[in-house]
Each structure stands twice: as structure tokens, then as C-alpha cells.
Chain A
């Protein structure tokens, strides 16, 4: 999957997502697939709503963490790519 700035990420329907003490837990129904994320990952996850594009999310991260778009882009693409490979997120 090649990510683009106008790609819109969305959490897969078959994944249950829960927030426990500032940690996001993604759980697959079989219980086999589990992934967790904290800090920036948690912030990024909260921006994933099936409407915002990756560019929108990059801009939010830049505002929140006062970093350049280039750095934010690399980190966010890496984060989203990982979740897409784990079938937690789909790109619509």
C-alpha cells in the first residue's frame, strides 16, 4: 500500500479499540492480533475518524508538537503503514 497525503485512514471494523490509562489497545476478535500505542501514536489515533486525510493529521501533529511537516510526515507514514500491514487500519 502506497500512502499519499490525501489518503484517508480508518480503523478496521473488526478491530476493537480501547483506551486504558493513556494507552490505546487494538484487539482483533480472535485475540491473536494485538497492538498497543502510547504518546504520539495515541494522538494520531485520535485523529483517525474516516474523514481526515493524512495531510490533515500531519498538520494537527505539527501544531501539537511544534515540529516540521517533513518530520511529522515520516513518523505518521511509518505509524500508519505499520497499522495497515497489521490490518488494523484500512485506507479509504
Chain B
């Protein structure tokens, strides 16, 4: 039987309202991760006043879950005013961060604003590996120190690991770190191209030999909070329906990885962009069915695949195509499993 929650979510979908939003408060970051999907770190960020107006619009269209991400969200000087305003408007707030810029005072302040969910990047089990991938000396030690502080405040933490050539040998130890902290571990082996379509980041993906060395049971997704990739290829998802992404300059996307603008809140209201006058692209995306993604729908190894509609669009600029990097990984995974 359908639960009340399912019925409510259905109502959101039918009235074209998102339930969850991931908001990139800034693109700026002190780290320069070698595989980062953001093509540039500078743009005309929304001001605090614009963000407050945005939050009221989000509340009025019914948004409940609000994820704050970056860049590094805590680089914004007004981040605590942003969080306070989100708290006052009763959003359930989660934060995606490197964890580097926190301290005990900030963590206590976050707790007072009911911020209890954090997704923190971990890119190595050793400081040397993690810091080198992030291009930031001291990152690992600081992050571990702050995870300890967050745990003392009973925060709910996910450690997010993107597994690449530079850190795959430390996958088990990274999972053990999560185990020791008693937190969720979300490792993924798919990498997104840069937001401008540049595929240089894909060079860091594992090859067959490297993939054969890792324990696939430790890989379960983690590119987009809330999405679980363990069930195979995602032919459709909630992007543009139950969730949207908002960039630091007010551009609205189906998802922060699905980098096709559907409007900008500096030019139009959210009501207009999402409900009253959605773009043709958004209308098409909302209607898409699994069978429309023809090649993947028929694919006999799709259960080994981590296709993401957003990454697929970044790679191909098509809405219903296979995404080549996911096909590549799926084939490797299938081969590995077939051999065993």
C-alpha cells in the first residue's frame, strides 16, 4: 500500500514542485582536487539578500530538504547567516564540505541551527594521498580532527570517496576509517567530466587492471546525495522533478551534475521556471521514461552500470543516451564478475 509519504511525493511531482534542492553557495574552494567537475571557481555569486529571497521562494513552492554545497561552502563569509535563515524557514539542512574549515565553535553553532547531516570528502586513507589529490597540505589531518568533533556532537556523517588511480589502493583503509568513526561510507568509481564538457577528469578513472584490484562490494555510489546507484544504471532519476540544483550565480539546473540551465532566478521566479512556464527541455526531461533511453534499456549489463542521467548529459549533450564512461566501467565490472 502506498504510504502517506509516497502520496505526498506524488503530489509534488504532479504539481512540478521539488522536495529537495542542492544549492552550490559558492564555486570557490581552497582545494584544487584533480578530478573536480567544476570548470571554474569564479562567478557572480548570489548575495545574501538574493539568497534570502531564494529561500522564501523555495519555501513557498514546498521545498523541504536543502543541501548546501560548493566549492567549499564555509569559504563564504556570510555562510552562517545563510544557514541561520534556512533554519528559520524550517528547511532540513545538510552540508557537503571538505570539513577543513570547521572548528568546535562553528560545529556548536551549526548544531544550534539544527544542522546535523554532513557529507565529507575523503580521498585517501593517508594524509599524503588525500592532500595530494586535493592539492591542499594538511587537509587530511584537519578533516579527521573535525570528523571527531562532529561525532562528539552526534552529527550524522557520510564519508564520500571518489576512487581514482591515485587512491584505489587505499579503498579498504578508507572504508575502515568510516567503520572506525561508525559513519556511512559512499565510494564511487564513476567520474564526471567538467561542467564545460572537458573530459580531462576521465583520465583519472580506473583501468581494467586497477579495477580488478578493488573490492567492488565497497563501491556504492555517492555522486549525488540521496541517490543510490547500487541498483544498476539510472535511466531516469528525480532531477528536474523532485529535486533541482542551483548554482552560485542563480542558475537553475535539473541537478548540479545535469548542467543544462532551465532558468536563472535573477531573471525569473522559481514559480515561473519550474511550475508556470517550464522550458521545453525541462518538460521533455520530466516526461522521459526508462524505455526512452533505448540503448541502456535493452542493455544486458545494465545492472553492473552506474549510469547517471546528469553525467550522461555532460558527456554527450543528449538527454537519453548511454554515458560512455559508465559503459566503460560497466564492461569492466561485468568482465571481472564473469571471471570470478
Which of chain A's residues has its CB closest to B64's CB? A16
Residue in A16, A20, A21, A34 whose beta carbon sits within 8 Å of that of B92 in the complex: A16
Residue in A18, A19, A20, A34 whose beta carbon sits within 8 Å of that of B5 in the complex: A34
The distance in angstroms between the C-alpha atoms of A29 and B115, with both chains bound, is: 11
B90–A15 CB distance below 8 A? yes
Which of chain A's residues has its CB closest to B60's CB? A19
Q: Which residues does chain A contribute within 8 Å of B59, judged by CB atoms?
A: 18
A21–B15 CB distance below 8 A? yes
Report A1-43 residues with CB < 8 Å from chain B CB: 13-21, 23, 25, 27, 29, 31, 34-36
How many residues of chain A are within 8 Å of chain B by beta carbon?
Answer: 17
Q: Annotate B1-22 by CB proximity to A: 1 below 8 A, 0 otherwise.
A: 0001100100110010100000
Q: Annotate B54-93 by CB proximity to A: 1 below 8 A, 0 otherwise.
A: 0000010011100000000000000000000000001110
Residue in A13, A19, A21, A36 whose beta carbon sits within 8 Å of that of B4 in the complex: A36
B4–A18 CB distance below 8 A? no
Q: Which residues does chain B contribute within 8 Å of A21, judged by CB atoms?
A: 11, 15
How far, in Å, is B219 (CB) from chain A's closest CB?
26
Q: Which residues does chain B contribute within 8 Å of A15, judged by CB atoms?
A: 90
A18–B64 CB distance below 8 A? yes
Which applies to chain B's interface (DSSP): helix, strand, loop or mixed?
loop
The distance in angstroms between the C-alpha atoms of A36 and B114, with both chains bound, is: 23
How far, in Å, is A12 (CB) from chain B's closest CB?
10
Across chains A and B, which 3 residue pairs bring their CB atoms closest together, nearest first?
A: A18-B62, A16-B90, A20-B62
B15–A13 CB distance below 8 A? no
A13–B114 CB distance below 8 A? yes
9 new A-B pairs (CB below 8 Å) besides A18-B64, A27-B92?
A16-B91, A18-B59, A20-B11, A20-B12, A20-B17, A20-B62, A21-B15, A29-B92, A29-B114
B11–A34 CB distance below 8 A? no
Q: Which residues does chain B contribute within 8 Å of A23, judged by CB atoms?
A: 11
A19–B62 CB distance below 8 A? yes
The distance in angstroms between the C-alpha atoms of A14 and B4, with both chains bound, is: 19
How far, in Å, is A62 (CB) from chain B's closest CB?
29
The distance in angstroms between the C-alpha atoms of A21 and B5, with both chains bound, is: 16
25 CB-based A-B contacts, threshold 8 Å: A13-B114, A14-B114, A15-B90, A16-B64, A16-B90, A16-B91, A16-B92, A17-B90, A18-B63, A19-B62, A20-B11, A20-B15, A20-B17, A20-B62, A21-B15, A23-B11, A25-B8, A25-B62, A27-B64, A29-B92, A29-B114, A29-B116, A34-B4, A35-B4, A36-B4
Which of chain B's residues has its CB closest to A21's CB? B15
The distance in angstroms between the C-alpha atoms of A16 and B90, with both chains bound, is: 5
